[in-house]
Chain A
Amino acid sequence: SQELEQSPQSLIVQEGKNLTINCTSSKTLYGLYWYKQKYGEGLIFLMMLQKGGEEKSHEKITAKLDEKKQQSSLHITASQPSHAGIYLCGALRGGSQGNLIFGKGTKLSVKP
């Protein structure tokens, strides 16, 4: 079965620093979703990548999809305390669009 591995598991950065989170799939990626979660709350949709080489940006967050490497990266520029949370990548498992497999998440802390 497909698995998504995220790295690092946790990250502590100083405010203003850049950072990258990776998500690697054990199988071919047909679509990759990035979500952010505050502890104990729901997931907030960040970006969806569907094609190899696709890159999307929203405010200071950029995500890329490398189909050949079966990997996606999420890059945050000039991090702020508001970026703190758990970042999760999800991929279509197949069968229907509501059935996603998720990575275990990357916990990001930003020190002011």
Chain B
Amino acid sequence: KAGVTQTPRYLIKTRGQQVTLSCSPISGHRSVSWYQQTPGQGLQFLFEYFSETQRNKGNFPGRFSGRQFSNSRSEMNVSTLELGDSALYLCASSLEGGSPLHFGNGTRLTVT
């Protein structure tokens, strides 16, 4: 079974631009979560989607948004990029019923 796939692997953007990251979950997984990882703050929860609905949201500004499609694939968007948005963005998928999260290899975003 293929794991969680995130694209692209690396991105370099300029302040003020916007970016879209993509995540394909493990087949059969309907829950997709997004995390931001930085050296200073560690791993922080962004949001979770299930059946195309946002189920939970972390404490991030409205510039961070996401969506989930009917095939469970998910995208997250960051608008008006700031230098502090430079991070590793991780996507995770899971089955329902308390099963663990399975993470992708992440997208490394650098904002210059």
Contacts and interface: CB of A to CB of B under 8 A. Distances in A.
B100 A102 contact: no
B33 A98 contact: yes
Interface string B51-90: 0000110100000000000000000000000000000101
Given A42-B4, A93-B45, A104-B42, A98 B101 contact: yes
Interface of B: 4, 6, 31-33, 42-43, 45, 48, 50, 55-56, 58, 88, 90, 92, 94, 96, 98-106, 108
Contacts of A40: 88, 106, 108
A10 to B, nearest CB: 13
**A contact patch SS:** loop
A84 interface: no
B42 A41 contact: no
A99 interface: yes
Interface of A: 31, 33, 35, 40-45, 48, 50, 88, 90, 93, 95-105
A98 B48 contact: yes
| 10 cross-chain pairs, A with B, having the tightest CB-CB distances, nearest first | A98-B48, A98-B33, A42-B103, A102-B43, A43-B103, A42-B105, A96-B56, A99-B56, A104-B42, A96-B55
